[in-house]
């Protein structure tokens, strides 16, 4: 692998601990990233007076690749969410959330699905207002949902390309076009048009979102990939994480034309920060997604297999998975598996 420059934001709370563990296993994999470390979140407020300094943005603009720990969103002070700001700044239109059963003995054994969520449109465009009627200042509320053909087609294309690269067989388009005939209807129509272009190699179907939620709970193994709009994707991707034991093992990626940012789905876990007991798996799996993104598919697979083997076969688990291993012990075990 040639050395590639990438931005590193270690994050707040447990961020430094899980990132340190992740760098250690990347080292064992002999992965060559030239890290440009930058601040974000509370660490950036303390060091630069803002949660998202220009130096951090400049770095991502240059490297187009970022591994990020969880950031604490400062309460009050008028700060906007760093994650939302990054999404807007780099037009990160595809949110990728893989969900896979790792720990056996849970509710579902064979879940292995990837949800692609459109990240920039829909009800999350921020056109959300209240109106005064008579004496009530907040008598009426209105939100606007924006869906474009271009936005729908590009996220659908991303989903089908992802399916091709990752050997996935089927993409389900999730919508509510029976009721939201204009917005969800346009998404469905656009995504179906893209699906036709891939029909020779990838099967596709469509499902209404409420039925999808029920089917995910009844028989999640039937899904391979889902592509959907912003709000539905937000809800379904957390639902999916819950099927396999919560957010502790869930990585995510936000991908756009100008940059790609990889992170664990969980937050900064202030309750256990500094104790050395956080589970670094989600951050390690985020790094595996980053390796996929730079076409290091073999190394990504090796990392995933090592994490699974350590949890399932070696029974080395952190407290959130019912074990007693520290973050450092877990990292050492994964590095050992990689080198074996
Ligand atoms: P959280 O995910 O940080 O924690 C929820 C619970 O899960 C806590 O009990 C925590 O100890 C546990 N947990 C989380 N990650 C863990 C890990 N890797 N290993 C073991 N246990 C883990 O959610 P929260 O407490 O609601 O949020 C804390 C802060 O994180 C807030 O400021 C929030 O805004 C921020 N946050 C950031 C992101 C992000 O940067 N992507 C995502 C979610 C929350």
pTM: 0.94
Q: How far apart are CA 283 and CA 233, in angstroms?
A: 21
283 lines ligand 1 (CB under 6 A): no
pLDDT at 2 over 80: no
pLDDT at 141 over 70: yes
Q: What are phi and psi of 218, to 5 degrees?
A: -75, -50
Q: Give the pLDDT band of residue 76 (cuts 50, 70, 90).
A: low
**Taking residues 40-68, what's their average pLDDT?**
94
75 compared with 25, residue with greater pLDDT: 25
**Taking residues 206-227, what's their average pLDDT?**
97
Ligand 1 atom at shortest distance from the alpha carbon of 75: 32
Give the residue among 305, 264, 216, 246 at the shortest CA–CA distance from 29.
305
pLDDT at 91 over 90: yes
Mutate which of 21, 254, 266 for ligand 1 pocket (most atoms within 8 A of beta carbon): 266
Known catalytic residue at 32 = no
pLDDT at 80 over 90: no
Known catalytic residue at 129 = no
Give the residue among 122, 99, 142 at the shortest CA–CA distance from 250.
99
181 compared with 85, residue with greater pLDDT: 181
Q: Which residues pair with 131 in a beta bridge?
A: 140
pLDDT the model gives residue 192: 98
Q: How far apart are CA 264 and CA 241, in angstroms?
A: 12
pLDDT the model gives residue 1: 61
What is the overall mean pLDDT for the chain?
Answer: 94
Ligand 1 atom at shortest distance from the alpha carbon of 68: 40
pLDDT, tens only, 143-153: 999 999 999 99
Q: How far apart are CA 322 and CA 316, in angstroms?
A: 10
pLDDT the model gives residue 74: 72
Q: What are phi and psi of 144, to 5 degrees?
A: -110, 135
pLDDT the model gives residue 283: 98
**Taking residues 53-74, what's their average pLDDT?**
94
pLDDT, tens only, 242-272: 998 777 799 999 999 989 999 999 999 999 9
85 compared with 132, residue with greater pLDDT: 132
pLDDT the model gives residue 78: 65
Catalytic hit among 68, 157, 176, 332: 176
* % of the chain at pLDDT higher than 70: 99
Distances (CA, A) of 26 to 54, 328, 333: 28, 14, 13
């Amino acid at each position: 692998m040639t050395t590639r420059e990438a931005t590193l934001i270690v994050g707040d709370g447990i961020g430094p601990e899980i990132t340190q563990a992740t760098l250690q296993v990347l080292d064992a994999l002999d992965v060559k990233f030239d890290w440009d470390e930058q601040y974000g979140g509370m660490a950036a407020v303390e060091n630069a007076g803002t949660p998202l300094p220009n130096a951090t943005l400049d770095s991502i603009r240059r490297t187009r690749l970022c591994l990020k720990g969880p950031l604490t969103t400062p309460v009050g002070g008028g700060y906007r969410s760093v994650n939302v700001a990054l999404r807007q700044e780099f037009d990160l239109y595809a949110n990728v959330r893989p969900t896979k059963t790792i720990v056996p003995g849970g509710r579902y054994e064979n879940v292995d699905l990837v949800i692609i969520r459109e990240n920039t449109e829909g009800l999350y465009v921020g056109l959300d207002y209240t109106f005064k009627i008579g004496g009530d200042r907040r008598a009426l509320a209105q939100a606007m949902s924006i869906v474009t053909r271009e936005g729908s087609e590009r996220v659908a294309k991303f989903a089908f390309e992802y399916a091709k690269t990752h050997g996935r067989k089927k993409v389900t388009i999730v919508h509510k076009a029976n009721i939201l005939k204009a917005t969800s209807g346009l998404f469905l129509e656009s995504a179906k048009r893209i699906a036709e272009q891939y029909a020779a190699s990838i099967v596709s179907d469509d499902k209404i979102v409420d039925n999808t939620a029920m089917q995910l709970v009844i028989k999640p193994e039937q899904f391979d990939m889902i592509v959907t709009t912003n709000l539905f994707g937000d809800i379904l991707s957390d639902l999916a994480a819950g099927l396999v034991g919560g957010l502790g093992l869930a990585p995510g990626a936000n991908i756009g034309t100008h940059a790609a940012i990889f992170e664990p789905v969980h937050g900064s876990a202030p309750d256990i920060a500094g104790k050395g007991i956080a589970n670094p798996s989600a951050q390690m799996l985020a790094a595996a997604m980053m390796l996929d993104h730079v076409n290091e598919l073999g190394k990504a697979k090796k990392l995933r297999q090592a994490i699974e083997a350590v949890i399932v076969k070696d029974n080395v688990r952190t407290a959130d998975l019912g074990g007693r291993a520290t973050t450092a012990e877990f990292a050492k075990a994964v590095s050992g598996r990689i080198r074996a």
